[in-house]
Amino acid sequence: MKQLPGGGYVASRTQIVCLHEGKKGRSIDPVFIRTVLKSLAPAWIRPWQANNIVRTVDGGGRSDLMKLMPTELQACLAMGGDTTLMVWADVDHDMADGEQLKAEFWKFASQAGIQRNEFDQVVFVFAKDRLENWIEFLLKGKTDESKEGPRQKHDRHVADAAKRLAQHCKEQLSEPPNPPSLEWSCHNWRKLVERIRR
């Protein structure tokens, strides 16, 4: 267990809770999330029961996610630093980028009594325009974040893209360059890795 600057703690090993958009059985997010984390397989992730690498929580629409996030974060904090919350959401056309969307999440969190240093422990993963854009990039090498990527009907394609992302991270590849929202999200993940390893 290590103390963070400004207060709060992070464990040498941590469990991961991923709060994401979509409803159970109707979202590609859990397949992508589980596959990319399982493929990355960092030694510092402590699996849940039944050896699940991550616990996913479907939050419905983005506005529902914002309302639910403070409760999920409080639950993680109550575990004493042994659990890390990741929030996966789409940066739709009404938001310029991940920072603007993160600021909206902060509004809900602060109103719920979450402190800034607690909020800063959350790992935000925001895809623009949606996760399908990342999948298109990972499978085809390019995507246009100004419009929705093609809908995915097959979990196999989603899983293949997630494995490519994990490989991209492991090998620290710079070509082709990540779409802006993917690079922003990868930066947030790298900050968590650095925090754990200190």
Element (H or E) spanning 138, and its range? helix 131-140
Q: What integer pLDDT is reported at residue 145 of this predicted model?
A: 95
Per-residue pLDDT of the chain (198 residues; tens, 9 = 90+): 445 445 554 446 789 999 999 887 778 999 999 999 999 988 888 888 766 789 999 998 999 999 999 999 999 999 876 889 999 999 998 899 999 999 999 999 999 999 999 999 999 999 999 999 999 999 999 999 999 999 998 899 999 999 999 998 888 888 889 999 999 999 999 988 888 776
Q: What integer pLDDT is reported at residue 198 of this predicted model?
A: 66
Element (H or E) spanning 78, and its range? helix 62-78
Q: What is the DSSP letter of 129?
A: S
Q: What integer pLDDT is reported at residue 197 of this predicted model?
A: 72
* Domain with 170 in it: 2-197
Q: What integer pLDDT is reported at residue 12 of this predicted model?
A: 65
User: Which DSSP string do the residues of 145-192 spell out, in sequence order?
Assistant: TTSPPPP---HHHHHHHHHHHHHHHHTT--SSPPPHHHHHHHHHHHHH
Q: What integer pLDDT is reported at residue 99 of this predicted model?
A: 97
How far is 93 from 68, CA to CA, in rounded Å?
22
3-state secondary structure of 85: strand
Q: What is the DSSP letter of 58?
A: E
Q: And the tokens for 108?
A: 């809900």
Please give the tally of structural domains in the chain: 1
Q: What integer pLDDT is reported at residue 110 of this predicted model?
A: 97
Q: What integer pLDDT is reported at residue 130 of this predicted model?
A: 93
Positive/negative CA dihedral, 88, 152, 22, 64: positive
How far is 176 from 39, CA to CA, in rounded Å?
20
175: left (phi over 0), alpha (psi -120 to 50) or beta: beta
